[in-house]
Amino acid sequence: MSGRDFVENPNRGFIVPIGGAEEKYRDPAILREFVERCGGKKARIAIIPTASRLEETGRKYVELFEELGVREATNLPFKTRQDCDRDDWLKVLRNADGVFLTGGNQLKLSTTLGGTKVGRTLRERNAAGMHIAGTSAGAAYLSEHMIAYGDEGSSPRADMVQMAPGLGLTNTVLVDQHFRQRDRLGRLLTALAYNPFAIGVGLDEDTAAFISPEDTLEVVGTGAITIVDPSQLSYSSMDSAKRHDPVCLINVRLHILIGGGRFNTQTRIATAPEEARQRR
């Protein structure tokens, strides 16, 4: 299956990867936009802080969403795979309008939620219209293929990144977070070089990609999103590269989008903020 083969579902909810360190107090534009998508004051939001090692993470987001005026915000601290069988918490997920996955360690998400009723419920509910957002580690986990960890640097190298299965809400994009702040262009390029079927989405901090059911990505936040489109890739040396070797990639397209900018993952067309406003 290629990125373009992913079946479009007009009933699907938004998928919202956030680059981490989103503004939470002065002008929480990303969280506010997510709440509006979920129904505003009528919204029921479930928070999954599994990736975090801090006990207060889930409670903090409950307070943040309550301050934004949602009808209900519930903390679901799935710590073990056994927790993922709890009927009371699964009921909250099934009734939620939106789910928010916090930051931390994305492997904690994949090893705790992968193959459980929670993972299946999240996919089923998103397909039926529930919106799902994730920040930092939560953002990395949303797609079918997940960057588990990797090295910093701008140039791709053969052993620069380790991949793992993600939640599987989409296979159209491959997400990396804290992008500019942690110099992660090289590892995103390396991940795409393994199999250039997807689109790379590098998210700066306090920046989100609101991916619609029609697979149009819109930028919200104060930073930028780096789009790496390998669909026209004409040459890659990944198959012959040895450990630590740099990787040659020819004919990769790159876009830098800021707030209001858009990218259609099916047509591969990028739109500047001014153009996007004129087309509305």
Q: Is residue 218 predicted with pLDDT exceeding 90?
A: yes
Q: Rounded to 5, what percent of the chain is helix, strand, coil? A: 30, 30, 45
The token pair at 212 is 């619609």
What percent of the chain is predicted at pLDDT more than 90? 94
Q: What is d(CA 166, CA 77) in angstroms, rounded to the nearest whole number?
A: 19
Q: Which residues have a Cβ under 8 Å from the Cβ of 70 and sit 6 or more positions away?
A: 35, 38, 40, 41, 43, 44, 45
Whole-prediction pTM: 0.96
Question: And the tokens for 264?
Answer: 């259609």
pLDDT the model gives residue 2? 39
Cβ–Cβ under 8 Å, residues 38 and 155: no
Structure confidence by residue, pLDDT tens digits, 181-191: 999 999 999 99
Cα–Cα distance measured from residue 163 to residue 148, given in angstroms and rounded to the nearest whole number: 5
Give the model's confidence band at 7: pLDDT under 50 very low, under 70 low, under 90 confident, else very high: low
Mean pLDDT, the chain, integer: 96
7 lies in which domain range? 3-279
- Residues designated as active site: 136, 178, 205
Checking if the pLDDT of 203 tops 60, the result is yes
User: Residue 69 sits in a domain of what CATH number?
Assistant: 3.40.50.880
pLDDT digits (tens, 9 = 90+) for 122-174: 999 999 999 999 999 999 999 999 999 999 999 999 999 999 999 999 999 99
CB 45 within 8 A of CB 17: no
Buried b (16+ CB within 10 A) or exposed e, 249-268: beebeebebebebbbebeeb
Model confidence at 96: pLDDT above 50? yes
Mean pLDDT (whole number) for 189-214? 97
Which tokens in the block code for residue 199? Answer: 């689109």
Number of domains present in the structure of the chain: 1
